[in-house]
């Protein structure tokens, strides 16, 4: 499953980031590395970009970029 | 890439003598939004300087920091924010080169103070550990420490410092907490033994960016994060995880599906309305002061070329430059508040999808909207767009946003040719035409951006990966610093060009001399008509005739290159319509309505008026815009191109309007 597909406010973990292109390196430098906890907070009013929470900070990225991030859902489920 | 390795081998710092003979240089590095600027402002106070790095448009901020009583103040350089030493933008490249001691003609830092956001330790330590690995003198300033405490993060700074092998000093910049401890830590690092001896705690040296192979890069990057995570989990105790943050609660409203766009519209309306209406008060004041000054010069000095130069060229030119200050100050007042509070990133988040339709970035939204008030501050505000091609595309279309300087032209034309006319009995034709001008400007901007992004500014879509920083209360000090920096930049860099062009334009109207003085009404008209500008007006008459313009309008077009609204005063002079500001517009309206060609036909028809308005909407008749584009792109290439293509567009659109209108039987 990729980051653009998961439901809102469900805890997930990054399993991989597609390598080799420019933005994947930028994402990884910003802490989006395998094992990092992520959560999709919401989508912008027009559906794109999306707002995610990674390692307790907030990030906006387009769905095209989110597609390169593979995640697995966490067991603990939704928060709040 | 191997250059990095080579540099690293040489960058073990030499011992620094701290006896006052050597003035210290301290670099401030850190992630964007880590509180670097706040700390910089607290350390240096008002003693700072904004300049450009040699040869590029990246801004360099430096200031003086009194480390200790017995030492001369150290020079602190506030580097552009960066996430890692693998630079992706020009800003980051410059910061990296200075940090890796590769920059020529910039002082090599003796100490690097890495600003680390305590509430976001893992990500911030990525850059910090990279810098520690370069074996330079590093001190970590742990900012937002009060926030960390409030959100129940217990950070053991001693443990963190031991694990990283560098001093870690918690600071709260806005309360000036920890600043003295930071000075002491910096001095200790300088005076202390060479770095290799203090370390040796097992933190491995990883210099990953020397590798060209991305897979290897990735695995090193992952390894570094794993190490940082271990260090952080040892030093930090989190007692309250999973709680929705304060910022996220605000975002529930601010980026809400319906309220989000609504709030954005309200915010922009407020900004726009303020620049539009509040700025006119100080602008009129500046205008009055300078025309009074120029009048008093005329009455006290003997008539002649020198007096004319002083009154009409220099004083009017300086007044023209200063007239932009209120708009720039107001816009940047709002922009720095929006930016400091964290709202700017949300505005980009909300509008990105919309802007992407024309190939632009969400961050282009605010600069473009600001350009409806004035393109000059709008273009200055494009600095937040990291991608250089996106930034240029935004700059290139900003002048199509119908700015406030076009309004005098619109109102004159509407007063002369469309006043009192109504559609369906209620809607005034004048209002419809002005609305049409705004919409036409937007439409042209969209088309031009779309074409440019597919031709001369073609580039793969830049990734939209943008941090949404936590909301913060903007600090007045930071806002004041931004305003001061922006206005000095405008006055120094753009002001000189604007002054030079206005003196040149004055000379075009003032020479060759018709009489000894241009003080008298009648003589002024004769002077202008026989001047270089007048001759040029006659020269270009054949070219502008298909647009419905005669040579007198040609003079107006030439003189209005200084600023669009100038055409109103120029037309008053060439039509000899009186100089009294009270009666000027009505007598000018009468003069325009009754002006006749040599064959007895009317020069001005409603169609001519419309053609002129469209020309003024699309042509780049604003030397301040040209000057600021020159400054922001660091070359004459883009401003020249901008003037050229906008002129072609304006000509074509006016041609189609006038000729098409005549074919359809309009007059």
ipTM attached to this prediction: 0.92
Residues contacting A45, CB < 8 A, separation 6+: B255, B256, B257, B258, B260, B261, B350
Q: How confident is the model at residue B7 (pLDDT cuts 50, 70, 90)?
A: very low
Nearest to A26 among B123, B251, B463 (CB): B463
> Which pLDDT score is estimated for B661?
92
Query: Which chain A residue has its CA at the smallest distance from B126's CA?
Result: A29
CA distance B421 to chain A (A): 40
Residue B642 has pLDDT above 80, yes or no: yes
Residue B75 has pLDDT above 50, yes or no: yes
CB B336 within 8 A of CB B478: yes
Q: Cβ separation of A30 and B218 shorter than 8 Å?
A: no
Read off the tokens for B114.
């890495």
First to last CA, chain B: 68
CB B103 within 8 A of CB B58: no
> Among A63-77, B31-45, B133-147, whose mean pLDDT is lowest?
A63-77
pTM, two decimal places: 0.80
Q: How confident is the model at residue B386 (pLDDT cuts 50, 70, 90)?
A: confident
What is the per-residue pLDDT across B495-554, written as a single tens digit (0 to 9) for each? 777 788 778 878 887 777 766 554 555 666 777 778 888 888 889 989 999 999 988 888
> Which pLDDT score is estimated for A79?
46
Q: Cβ separation of B354 and A46 shorter than 8 Å?
A: yes
DSSP string, chain A: -BTTTSPTTEEEEEEEE--SSHHHHHHHHTT--TT-EEEEEEE-TTS-SEEEEETTEEEEE-HHHHTTEEEEEEEEEE--
- Helix H or strand E encompassing B228: helix B214-235
CA-to-CA distance for B397 and B368, rounded, in angstroms? 8
What is the per-residue pLDDT across B319-364, written as a single tens digit (0 to 9) for each? 877 877 888 788 888 888 988 898 989 999 999 998 888 888 888 8
CA-to-CA distance for B263 and B240, rounded, in angstroms? 32
Residue B425's Cβ-count burial label (10 Å; 0-12, 13-18, 19+) is: exposed
Q: How confident is the model at residue B244 (pLDDT cuts 50, 70, 90)?
A: low
CA-to-CA distance for B257 and A34, rounded, in angstroms? 31
- Helix H or strand E encompassing B610: helix B606-618
Average pLDDT value for chain B = 82
Q: Cβ separation of B470 and A79 shorter than 8 Å?
A: no
Read off the tokens for B143.
């900012």
Chain A with chain B: Cβ pairs closer than 8 A: 122
> Which pLDDT score is estimated for B20?
55
CA distance A51 to chain B (A): 8
Q: Cβ separation of B465 and A60 shorter than 8 Å?
A: yes
What is the per-residue pLDDT across A15-60, written as a single tens digit (0 to 9) for each? 988 865 666 778 888 999 999 999 999 999 999 899 999 988 999 9
Q: Cβ separation of B222 and A26 shorter than 8 Å?
A: no
Q: What is the mean pLDDT of residues B438-445?
A: 92
CA-to-CA distance for B495 and B314, rounded, in angstroms? 12
Q: Cβ separation of B349 and A22 shorter than 8 Å?
A: no
């Amino acid at each position: 499953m990729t980051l653009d597909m998961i439901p809102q406010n469900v805890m997930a973990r990054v399993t991989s980031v597609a390598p080799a292109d420019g933005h994947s390196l930028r994402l990884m430098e910003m802490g989006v590395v395998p094992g990092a906890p992520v959560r999709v907070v919401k989508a912008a009013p027009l559906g794109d970009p999306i707002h995610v929470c990674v390692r307790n900070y907030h990030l906006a990225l387009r769905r095209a970029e989110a597609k390169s991030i593979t995640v697995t859902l966490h067991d603990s489920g939704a928060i709040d | 890439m191997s250059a990095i390795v080579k540099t690293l081998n040489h960058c073990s710092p030499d011992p620094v003598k701290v006896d006052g003979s050597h003035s210290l240089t301290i670099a401030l590095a850190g992630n964007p939004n880590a509180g670097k600027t706040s700390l910089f402002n607290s350390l240096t106070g008002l003693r700072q300087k904004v300049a450009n790095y040699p040869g590029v448009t990246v801004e360099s901020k430096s200031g003086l920091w009194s480390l200790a009583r017995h030492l001369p103040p150290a020079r602190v350089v506030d580097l552009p924010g960066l996430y890692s030493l693998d630079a992706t933008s020009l800003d980051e490249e410059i910061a990296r080169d200075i940090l890796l001691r590769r920059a020529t003609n910039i002082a090599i830092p003796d100490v690097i103070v890495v600003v680390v956001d305590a509430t976001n330790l893992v990500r911030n330590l990525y850059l910090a550990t990279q810098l520690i690995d370069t074996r330079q003198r590093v001190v970590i300033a742990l900012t937002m420490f009060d926030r960390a405490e409030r959100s129940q993060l217990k950070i053991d700074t001693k443990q963190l410092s031991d694990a990283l092998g560098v001093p870690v000093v918690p600071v709260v910049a806005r309360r000036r907490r920890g600043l003295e401890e930071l000075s002491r830590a910096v001095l200790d690092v300088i005076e202390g033994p060479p770095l290799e001896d203090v370390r040796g705690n097992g933190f491995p040296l990883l210099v990953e960016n020397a590798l060209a192979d991305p897979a290897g890069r990735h695995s090193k990057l992952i390894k570094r994060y794993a190490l940082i995570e271990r260090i952080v989990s040892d030093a930090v105790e989190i007692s309250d995880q999973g709680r929705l943050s304060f910022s996220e609660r605000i975002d529930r409203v601010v980026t809400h599906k319906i309220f989000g766009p609504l709030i954005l519209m309200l915010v922009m309306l407020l900004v726009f309305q303020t620049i539009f209406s509040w700025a006119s008060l100080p602008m009129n004041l500046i205008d009055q002061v300078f025309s009074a000054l120029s009048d008093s010069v005329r009455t006290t000095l003997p008539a002649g070329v020198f007096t004319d130069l002083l009154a009409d060229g220099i004083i009017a030119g300086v007044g023209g430059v200063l007239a932009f200050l209120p708009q720039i100050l107001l816009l940047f007042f709002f922009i720095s508040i929006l930016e400091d509070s964290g709202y700017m990133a949300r505005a980009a988040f909300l509008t990105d999808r919309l802007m992407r339709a024309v190939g632009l970035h969400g961050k282009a939204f605010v600069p473009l909207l600001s350009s409806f008030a004035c393109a000059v501050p709008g273009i200055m505000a494009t600095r937040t767009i990291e991608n250089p091609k996106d930034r240029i595309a935004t700059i290139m279309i900003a002048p199509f946003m119908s700015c406030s300087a076009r309004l005098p032209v619109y109102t004159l034309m509407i007063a002369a040719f469309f006043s009192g006319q109504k559609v369906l009995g209620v809607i005034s034709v004048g209002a419809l035409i002005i609305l049409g001008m705004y919409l036409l400007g937007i439409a042209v901007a969209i088309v031009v951006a779309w074409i440019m992004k597919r031709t001369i500014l073609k580039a793969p879509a830049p990734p939209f990966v943008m941090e949404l920083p936590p909301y913060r209360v903007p600090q007045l000090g930071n806002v004041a610093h931004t305003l001061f920096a922006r206005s000095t930049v405008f006055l120094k860099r753009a002001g000189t060009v604007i002054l030079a062009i206005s003196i040149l334009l004055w000379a075009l109207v003032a020479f060759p001399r018709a009489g000894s003085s241009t003080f008298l009404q009648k003589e002024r008209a004769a002077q202008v008509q026989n001047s270089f500008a007048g001759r040029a007006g006659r020269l270009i008459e054949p070219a502008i005739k298909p647009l419905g313009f005669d040579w007198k309008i040609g003079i107006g077009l030439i003189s209005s290159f200084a600023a669009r609204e100038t055409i109103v005063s120029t037309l008053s002079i060439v039509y000899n319509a009186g100089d009294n500001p009270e009666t000027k517009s009505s007598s000018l309206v009468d003069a325009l309505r009754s002006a006749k060609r040599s064959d007895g036909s009317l020069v001005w028809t409603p169609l001519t008026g419309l053609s002129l308005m469209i020309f003024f909407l699309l042509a780049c008749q604003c030397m301040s815009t040209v000057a600021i584009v020159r400054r922001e792109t660091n070359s004459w290439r883009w401003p020249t191109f901008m003037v050229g293509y906008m002129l072609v567009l304006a000509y074509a659109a006016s041609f189609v309007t006038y000729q098409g209108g005549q074919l359809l039987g309009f007059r």
